[in-house]
Amino acid sequence: MIPTLLGVSIIVFLMLRLTPGDPAELLLGERATEEALFEVREHLGLNEPLHVQYGLFLQRLSQGDLGETIFTRQKVWIEIKQRFPATIELSLLALVISCCLGIFLGIVSATKQYSIFDYASMVGALVGVSMPIFWLGLIFMIIFSLNLGWLPISGRLSVHIDLEVITNFYILDSILTQNWAALKDTLWHIIMPAVTLSTIPTAIVARMTRSAMLDVLRQDYIKTAKAKGLSSFKVTYKHALRNALIPVVTTIGLQFGVMLGGAILTETIFAWPGVGKWMYHGIEQRDYMVIQGGTLFIATIFVLINLVVDVLYAVVNPRISVQ
C-alpha cells in the first residue's frame, strides 16, 4: 500500500510540474506580480532540482500540509475536512442502496433464471451501466422536484431547519440530537442524489451477483444440500449466497471508489456541498491547489478502501489468508 500511495503522490506532484507553462504562474495567474511569483517559487522550491522539490512536497504532506487555496487563501486540508463528511454520507448511502438492491436483484434473477423477472432486471441492469448519471440526475429533478414537487431540488438541508452540527454527517447528527424534523429533511434531500449516484454500481452489483450465483448454484454441494431436503430458501441464502458473495465483495469495494470519482458529477448537479463540488469549482477557477489537494485526498481514500476490500475478501473467503 505504501508504494501505491507514494505513486499517487508522485503523479499528483508531477501533474503541476509537467503542465506546460511556469507552475508559479499557473498557480497565481497571469497578472501576478514578480514578487509574488518569486515567493511562490521559493515556497515550492521551484528553482531546485525535481527530486528536491518532491522531497519538500512529501515533507509537507507528512505534516498534513496540503497548502492554501489560491483564491480563498484557506488551508486546503481544513476545506476538505469540512466537506468530506457530506461526500462520505452521500457515497455510503448510495453504496447501501446499490448493495441491497443489486444483491437482491441478482439473487432473484439467478434463482429464477430466464423468467420475466430475470429478463427485466438484466435489461434494467444493462441500461443502468450505460446511464449518463449527470443526465439521469437532471431527469430525476424534472420529474420528482419540478413536476411532482415531492423532493427538494438541491442542497443538503432546508434553510429553515436548525441542526446542531457535531460530526458533520447530517443523518448521524440529527439522530444524535434527536432532531427528527432535521432527519426527515436530510433524508428528503439526500435520496435523489444518492439514487442517482447508485445507478451504475447497482447495475454492476446485480449483474455480478447473478453470474456468481448461477455459477455456485450449479455446483455439487448445492445439489447435495437440496438432496438432503433443505428448503430452497436455506440453500439459496445460506449455502449458495455465502460463496457467491466472494466476488461481489470485491466489486462493491471497487464501486465505492468509483463513486468517489462520480461524486464530482452528482455533487455538481445537486449542489451537494461535498469535496466533489468543491473540486469542480476549483477546476472552474483553475485553482490548482484545490485540484491537487482534492485529488490527493480522494486517491488516498480510494487506496485505503482497496486495502479494506482486500482484507474483507480474505474474511469472506477463508481459502485466502491475510498476509
Partner 1 sequence: MKEENNNKDPHDRHPMLEQLSQLWKNKPAIAGLIIIVTFILAAIFAPWISPHDPLEVSLYDQIKPPVWHETGAWKNILGTDDLGRDTLSRIIWGSRVSLQVALFAVGLAFAIGTFLGAVAGYFKGKLDSAIMRIMDMILAFPYLLLAIVVVAYLGPSLENAMMAIAITYVPRFARIVRGSVLEEAEKDYVMAEHALGAKNRRIIFLAILPNCLGPLIVLTTLSMASAILDSAALSFLGLGAQPPIPEWGAMIARSRGLILRASWVMTFPGVAILLAVLGFNLFGDGLRDALDPRLRD
| Residue 78 engages partner 1 in binding (rule: CB under 8 A) | no
Considering only 191, 283, 312, 316, the residue that binds partner 1 (CB under 8 A) is: 283
Polymer length of the chain: 323
Rank residues 120 and 127 by Cβ distance to partner 1 and give the closer one: 127
| Residue 260 engages partner 1 in binding (rule: CB under 8 A) | yes
In the complex, least distance from residue 265 CB atom to partner 1, rounded to whole angstroms: 6
| Residue 92 engages partner 1 in binding (rule: CB under 8 A) | no
In the complex, least distance from residue 178 CB atom to partner 1, rounded to whole angstroms: 36
- What whole-number distance in Å separates Cα of residue 179 and Cα of residue 177? 5
In the complex, least distance from residue 260 CB atom to partner 1, rounded to whole angstroms: 5
In the complex, least distance from residue 147 CB atom to partner 1, rounded to whole angstroms: 9
Considering only 78, 132, 234, 320, the residue that binds partner 1 (CB under 8 A) is: 132
Considering only 13, 54, 57, 280, the residue that binds partner 1 (CB under 8 A) is: 280
In the complex, least distance from residue 176 CB atom to partner 1, rounded to whole angstroms: 30
In the complex, least distance from residue 199 CB atom to partner 1, rounded to whole angstroms: 11
In the complex, least distance from residue 133 CB atom to partner 1, rounded to whole angstroms: 8
Rank residues 194 and 279 by Cβ distance to partner 1 and give the closer one: 279
183-222: which residues touch partner 1 (CB under 8 A)?
Answer: none
Considering only 63, 130, 321, 323, the residue that binds partner 1 (CB under 8 A) is: 130
Rank residues 103 and 290 by Cβ distance to partner 1 and give the closer one: 290
Secondary structure, 3-state, the chain: CHHHHHHHHHHHHHHHHHCCCCHHHHHHCCCCCHHHHHHHHHHHCCCCCHHHHHHHHHHHHHCCCCCECCCCCCEHHHHHHHHHHHHHHHHHHHHHHHHHHHHHHHHHHHHCCCCHHHHHHHHHHHHHHCCCHHHHHHHHHHHHHHHCCCCCCCCCCCCCCCCCCCCCCHHHHHHHCCCHHHHHHHHHHHHHHHHHHHHHHHHHHHHHHHHHHHHHHCCHHHHHHHHCCCCHHHHHHHHHHHHHHHHHHHHHHHHHHHHHHHHHHHHHHCCCCCHHHHHHHHHHCCCHHHHHHHHHHHHHHHHHHHHHHHHHHHHHCCCCCCC
**Site residues for partner 1 per CB under 8 A:** 3-5, 7-8, 10-11, 15-16, 19, 126-127, 129-132, 134-136, 138-139, 141-142, 146, 257-262, 264-265, 268, 279-280, 283-284, 286, 288, 291, 295, 298-299, 302-303
